[in-house]
Every structure is written in C-alpha cells, then in structure tokens.
Chains A and B, each alone.
Chain A
C-alpha cells in the first residue's frame, strides 16, 4: 500500500472515512425525510463539516467530554451517541436519549461523553470550562472539546470562557468549526478580523489554524493539540477551516452563497475527497467502500424505523424532570405539606448573616471536597466583597476558593459545567443586578439542563447573590430585587433568608440540593442583624415557611429584609389592637402554599409584602392563589404591597418610600382589616 506520503496510518484514514460515511448517511436521511414530509423538525445542516468530528473521534474516547451546538449532529454521531436514541430524540419520542424533551438541539448523553448541546450560540464555551475544572480537580486525564462555529466568536460568552480557561490553564479545546458563515451572514460582514485563532494568542494561550477538510493534516494537528491539553499544558483554540454547504436551517444548499463560492466549497468537501484518496492510495477498493457506506445507510435506516415506532413523549411528562422531585414544582391545586426542620440542639454562637454564611460554606467544604467557591474577589484576605468567604481560601487553597475575572457568564457557566460533572460549586454573584449579564447561563442552561436532558444530566449548583435596595446610595443598578426574573423560569429554586439562622440552614440545604438553587442575601441584613446560630450542621428544608409571629386578624407574608419590616409593622398594628400573624416564606421555589393557606384560613386576611416591584411580582401570584382557594372564607381579598413601578432611585427620599417600609406596610394592613 502506498501510505508513505499520506501522512496518516491507512487504518486511521479508513476509520475516519467510516465515521464520515455514518455522518453522511444521517445527513442524507434527515434531508430526505424532511423533503418528503416524513419528518417535521428544524434541521441545521452540517454538510461539508464531516471531517472535523470524524477525525477527532479517532483521538478521543467516550471518557472525554464534548459540548456542541444545535448544528452538531455530526459531532453527536462521531462521539458515539446511539443513532436510535438520537433519532427518537429528534422526533420527540419517549425512547429518545433525552426522553424527547430536548430534541436534537439539546442532546445530552453522558454515556458517550456528549454532555451538553446548546441552542444558544456560544453558550457552550463557559460550560465546557466547568467540565474541564471537574476533570482537572479530580486528576482525570479527560479533555473537554467544545464545538462552535466562527459566528460564535462574536459573542461575549466565548470571550469570557476563553479568558477564564487561559487564566486557569484548563484542559479544554475550543473547537471553532469555521464554516465561513454566522447563520445567514458571512465573515467580512460580521467581523473585521477573520483571524480567529489569533484571539487565543491575544488572551495568552495557544491558538492554531488547521484545515478541517483534510483528514491527514487535521489528524496530525489535532493529535498534537489533544496530547498537549491532556498533558495539562492548558487550553488550545483550534480554528478548523471548513465550509458549510447547506443553509443555516432547512435542507439543500446554502442559498445565500454565490454559485462560485458553493462550487469552491464543494470542491474542497471532505467526504468525496477522502473517499477518492482511499481508492487512489490503494487502501480500499470500491467494493469495500461501497460495503462500508451500505452498512452506514442500513444502520441509519434501522435507527429511523425503530425511532418512528417509539411513542411520542406524552403530556403526562410535562412537569416531570423540571426538578428532581416533582412535588417541588408549583402547581395550582397541589399544596404539599412538607415536614419542618427539627430544631437543632447543641452549641450556638452569636453570628451576623455574613458569619452564618461563612460557617455554612466552611461546613460544606470540610465535608465534601467537591464543594468549591468561585466568584469575583472571593479570595482572602477579604473573602469576598462582603467577607462571606473570609479565611476559606487560606484554609482550603486556591482551587477550592477561586477568584475569577469580572465575567459573570464565565462564572455561572463554570458552575453549570462542573455541577453537571457532579461537583457542588457555589458561584457568588456580587449583586443580583448582574444577573442581567449572566441570565442566559442561569435561565437557559442551569435551569433547563435537567428538563432538556430528560434528567440524563442536571446542574446541582448554588448561586449566592447579594441584593441591595432600601438602604440608600447604591442607585438603580445595585439595588434591585430581581427574584421574579428567576421565579418565572422553571427549573431554578430560590431561597431568601431573613436572618442568620435561616441563612445557614438554607444554604446547607441548597448546596446539597440536586437542583440549581439561588440564595439571595440582603445587604441590609448581612452585618446589621445578629442572632444565635448553632455552630454545627443543620438544614432548613426548601419549601417550608415559618410562622414568625402568631396572630388572628391578618397574615403578613414576606421574605428577606422586608420580613423584618413586617415584624416591626406587626408591633405597630398590635398597639392599635390588630393582631397580625407573620409568615417568613424562606424559600420562594419550592413555595409553601400549605402553610400560607393554613394561616390565611385562620386570619381571613392576607397581605404579601416584598421589595421587588409589585406589578407582576410574587405577591400577585400568592394573592391570586389565596383568593382562588379561599374564596368565600376570606374577610377581605388578599392584597399585595411591593415596590412602585420605577427603577430604584438614588434620591434617599424616593428610595426609602418606593419600597415597602414599616409605615406603608402597617397602613396597607390597617386598610385591609378595616375594609
């Protein structure tokens, strides 16, 4: 055989072609099925890009992690996702790898190492870092390869992820499949710098450009890259040059390309070229390749035939896989009574909320070495902007407490990825207002991973976030109460403690919870309020509210710092002979409607108070439920009091009055009792 100048072992080249043939068979079958009307789903063709994953498949195993995008069907095939499960998934069937809940743009198949598939351009890169952190911390030699297109280099998430990976020398490969198109827009239109691999050099790590259509050259280049990353030499950005022959979405050819461009692209297309090379070099006969292609076609045909037999995933699955426990899902008419915590005994100490949070993290980190903290300025000597992690970096080291770049998408993405791999990250976001720059990672990834994957994977992470407001001086972008953003996103749990004791017990539950939990920490309460807190471990279960003060005329329902205003307002009301019961929700999702309704049944009146904007806030939701469930038994309709519909003002006179205060709470409660 004439392999001497091929630059690749003949058997390897043949194996690469074998994967290309499987990818081609899948692509053809999907396009035929769509054209014929047999399938109806959206397809983002990867025709022309087959060589990249086909070649990589010969250099990695199922142990290595992969993250890809909606265009990554070729990546899935070559990574080893079972074709039956993949087609059943694309068709929304029960036997899909993700129970038909994610579809082809959200494949997650840990058995083959295909961990996350995102339909948000660029969002996979921060998550890949998290997977890479887990491998590095566990001393595993896995590499993580995150695939994205050239178009994704324009989005902030990729830049943030590259910068973090460089800073932390993570074993991750940024695989930019440069197919010359960002959806429907071509390169010169969307960037003045098509030197994509140069972006890595600018961030201080290695970038290479390889011909992604030439299996021999690409194999040699990738062998070196993968060995380097596996050996712990840090991340590499690979620009694999290829050409997308198809359109952004749909079937057929890229109708935005000129005839000349398309002809040139086809000329370079890898499947036909590799096939010809195998024959010309005398490695395979025409018959051999024909048999190999026929086997691929049969494999695909069989997978599709069986997938079409699998039942469509039924409606009864709707709220399954939102959380690990279906009872955590808020559902009209279903108000489970959850057992309250057992009062902890043992030694206590007077602690501020800051100390209680620090103490909870110390316990969790001592108990489980896979708990780690990441966020801006979280390291010692300060231990975070509010000192909630003081001493933890000194005690546990730089990999357990990781100060990050100012890059919230990178922070949350790293938490998502490492938690998907089974770690228990605690990501600290300095102010809840900054959710604005990382909501994609929280709402589209952390919250949805369990559901989109049919529970094949999930993100058991904790986000600790500080919330301002009501104290003056921070202005509109450091004072918001953003909890409603999260409450409206299925898949994320939210806790909001009002005191140090609850802050510690809720945080310990959050860290151990199988689902992502956001814990709000009021700046108002972090230092000012002190209380007796047990020094040992105890947990406050999520979804259990607590009656903080008993009363008979009205129930005040609140959480966080406004809870304390409600307690003070109750004192004022008592002076006038109005007996207010005060309930601290403690966790907002899951919500404890059982205890809310029990209390309001007794008092006949309810006022929900929060610092968040009243319009479309949690108060509206709780009032609607009370009014619907207890209609006819109420002495007055349930009402709410939240912030006025305005950004938080810098003027003290406005801010102190635009959010509920003791006077406005008492006035609203008084009006309800007198109505």
Chain B
C-alpha cells in the first residue's frame, strides 16, 4: 500500500507551504520517522518525517510553494 504525501495543514492559519528541500533522494529507501523534507511556513521551518517506510518518490520540485493538500510525493 502506498502512502501519498501532501502539503500538510500544520496550523489553523496555514494555507500554503514551501517545500524548501528534499532531505531524501528520489527513489531512496526511507524508514518511518526519517526526515524526508523541510517544510517552510510563515511561522517556522520544520522537518517532516516519513509517515511510513518504503521507497520515496518525489512528485514536486523543491524550492516552490504549494497549496495545502497538494500532492508532492509518495512512499511505495
């Protein structure tokens, strides 16, 4: 079962977030709890951990700002 990664809504006021940097390569094997990317919001920048273990698939480039809910990757 694959796990979809979307830009999360971390705060009541959050409507978009910047995928600052992928911390794991496209295609890398990641373990649940590994930091996979850095998300910047208007309040802070946060390490986002892998919600599951598996192969990480990037679906959106880093350095851009996306609306909350936008699919940015997948763990298969």
Contact = CB atoms under 8 A, between A and B. Distances in A.
A35 B11 contact: no
Interface stretch (A200-208, A244-252, A525-533): A244-252
Given A38-B51, A255-B43, 16 more contacts: A34-B8, A35-B10, A35-B49, A36-B4, A36-B8, A37-B4, A37-B5, A37-B69, A38-B6, A40-B68, A40-B69, A249-B12, A250-B11, A251-B10, A251-B46, A252-B10
Interface string A17-53: 0000000000000001111111010100000000000
User: Chain A, interface size: which category?
Assistant: 10 to 19
Contacts of A249: 11-12
A37 B7 contact: yes
B6 A250 contact: no
Interface of B: 3-12, 14, 43-44, 46-49, 51, 68-69, 71
The 8 closest A-B pairs by CB, nearest first: A37-B6, A36-B51, A250-B10, A255-B44, A32-B51, A250-B11, A37-B8, A252-B46
Nearest to A34: B8
A42 B12 contact: yes
A445 to B, nearest CB: 22
Contacts, number: 49
B36 to A, nearest CB: 10
A252 B45 CA distance: 10
A36 B12 contact: no
A250 B17 CA distance: 14
B52 to A, nearest CB: 8
Interface of A: 32-38, 40, 42, 249-252, 255
A32 B32 CA distance: 10
Contacts of A40: 8-9, 68-69
Nearest to A43: B10
25 contacts: A32-B51, A33-B51, A35-B8, A35-B10, A35-B48, A35-B49, A35-B51, A36-B4, A36-B8, A36-B51, A37-B4, A37-B5, A37-B7, A37-B68, A37-B71, A38-B4, A38-B6, A40-B8, A40-B68, A40-B69, A250-B10, A251-B8, A251-B46, A255-B43, A255-B44
Nearest to B69: A37
Contact of A36 (B5, B44, B47, B68): B5
B49 to A, nearest CB: 7
Contact of B3 (A36, A42, A251, A252): A36
Contacts of B4: 36-38
A32 B48 CA distance: 9
B37 to A, nearest CB: 10
Nearest to B36: A35
Contact of A34 (B3, B5, B10, B71): B10
Nearest to B13: A249
Contacts of A42: 11-12
A33, A35, A38, A42 — most chain B CB neighbours (10 Å): A35
A172 B44 CA distance: 40
A32 B8 CA distance: 10
B56 to A, nearest CB: 13
A392 B69 CA distance: 61
A250 to B, nearest CB: 4
B62 to A, nearest CB: 17
Nearest to A36: B51
Contacts of A32: 49, 51
A32 B46 CA distance: 13
B4, B12, B68 — most chain A CB neighbours (10 Å): B12
A34 B9 contact: yes
Contacts of B51: 32-33, 35-36, 38
A255 B3 CA distance: 27
A107 B11 CA distance: 21
B3, B10, B43 — most chain A CB neighbours (10 Å): B10
B22 to A, nearest CB: 15
A40 B71 CA distance: 14
A249 B71 CA distance: 23
Contacts of B7: 37
A271 to B, nearest CB: 15
Contacts of B69: 37, 40
A308 to B, nearest CB: 13
A416 B38 CA distance: 46
B4, B6, B51, B71 — most chain A CB neighbours (10 Å): B51
Contacts of A37: 4-9, 68-69, 71
A483 B52 CA distance: 55
Contacts of B5: 36-37
A439 B51 CA distance: 43
B50 to A, nearest CB: 9
Contacts of B46: 251-252, 255
A121 to B, nearest CB: 15
A623 B56 CA distance: 63
Contacts of B68: 37, 40
B19 to A, nearest CB: 12
A251 B39 CA distance: 12
A289 B65 CA distance: 42
Contacts of A255: 43-44, 46
Nearest to B10: A250
Nearest to A29: B51
A40 B14 CA distance: 11
B10 A36 contact: no
Nearest to B45: A255
B23 to A, nearest CB: 13
Contacts of B9: 34, 37, 40
